[in-house]
Copies of this chain bind each other. A is one copy, B any other.
Amino acid sequence: MSTVNETNRLASAGVTLLPMANKSPKAQPDHTRRSERSRRAILDAALELTGESGYQRLTIEAIAARAGVGKQTIYRWWPSKAAVLLDAFIALGEEAAEGEAGLPDTGDLAADLKTVVRATVDELNSPRYDAPSRALAAESVVNPELCAQFTERVLEPQLQLYVRRIRAAQEAGQADPDADPRIALELIVGPLAHRWMLRTLPLTHDYADAVVDLVLRGITPR
C-alpha cells in the first residue's frame, strides 16, 4: 500500500536513481492490463471472509482460493491483507454512497447532526459493516501506514463534512463563531468511536443524541 503509492509518487515526480531502470527492484505491473474480474472477486472474497470468520483468521491464501485467483495476483496489486480489506471497504462504501452530497442542512444544526449521527450508529451496529470496519480500525491503531491510508481515504472526507456543516451554522449565527469546528466535531465523533471500539456501553440513538446535545450546549452562542 504505502509501497505502491510511494513508488508511484516518486516515479511520477521523475525521481529515479538509474537512468532508464525504474524497474530495478520491482517494476510496477501494468495497470492497463489488470483484470477487473479478478480485482472484484478478490475484494468480494475479502469482505465475505472477514464477515464469516473475522479479520484475524483472514488469510491471503483463503482470499485467493475463494476468489479463484492465484496468490500472486493479490501480491502483485496489494502489499498486505489490510490493504486489500481497505480497498474492499472503500468499494463497499462507494456502492452505498452513490451520489451523496454531504451532511443535510435544514437550518437546524442539532436536528441535522442527530440525523447523521444516528445513521452512523446504525451503520456501526450493522453486521455488514461491523467486521471490516473493526478490522481496519484495529489495524490502524497499530499500523501507521495503513492508518494514514485509512484516515486519508475514509475518515477525513467524512469528518470534513461535519466541519462544513458546523461552519455553515456559525455563519448562520446558530453557533459560537469562536468555537473550533474541528474540536466540536471530534467531541461528537470521538465518544461514539470510543463506545463502538471498546464496547464500554451500548451504542444507541439516545446516546448519540445526548452527545450532540451536550456538545451543542458548549458551542451555542451565549
With contacts A142-B55, A142-B135 taken as known, whether A155 is within 8 angstroms of B198 at the C-beta atoms is yes
Q: Secondary structure of the A side of the interface?
A: helix
A199 at the B interface (CB under 8 A): yes
A68 at the B interface (CB under 8 A): no
A159 at the B interface (CB under 8 A): yes
Partner of A142, one of B134, B151, B155, B217: B134
Partner of A197, one of B140, B148, B217: B140
The interface-forming segment of A102-110, A114-122, A183-191 is: A183-191
Contact A210 B190 (CB under 8 A): no
List of B residues within 8 angstroms of A216 by Cβ: 218
Smallest beta-carbon distance A181→chain B, Å: 11
A150 at the B interface (CB under 8 A): yes
A contact residues, total (Cβ < 8 Å): 48
With contacts A138-B141, A187-B191, A194-B189 taken as known, whether A210 is within 8 angstroms of B180 at the C-beta atoms is yes
List of B residues within 8 angstroms of A192 by Cβ: 190
List of B residues within 8 angstroms of A201 by Cβ: 182
Smallest beta-carbon distance A202→chain B, Å: 12
Most chain B CB within a 10 A radius of its CB, from A135, A137, A189, A194 = A194
Contact A194 B186 (CB under 8 A): yes
- Contacting B at CB under 8 A, from A171-218, are 179-180, 182-184, 186-187, 189-195, 197-201, 207, 210-211, 214-218
8 further A-B contacts with Cβ under 8 Å, apart from A183-B210, A218-B218, are A155-B198, A155-B200, A186-B200, A187-B187, A189-B191, A190-B194, A191-B191, A214-B218
In the complex, 10 of the A-B residue pairs with CB atoms within 8 angstroms, ordered by the A residue number, are: A134-B142, A137-B141, A140-B198, A140-B199, A180-B210, A183-B214, A193-B198, A194-B194, A214-B219, A215-B218
Residues of A within 8 A of B (CB): 54-56, 134-135, 137-144, 147-148, 150-151, 155-156, 159, 179-180, 182-184, 186-187, 189-195, 197-201, 207, 210-211, 214-219
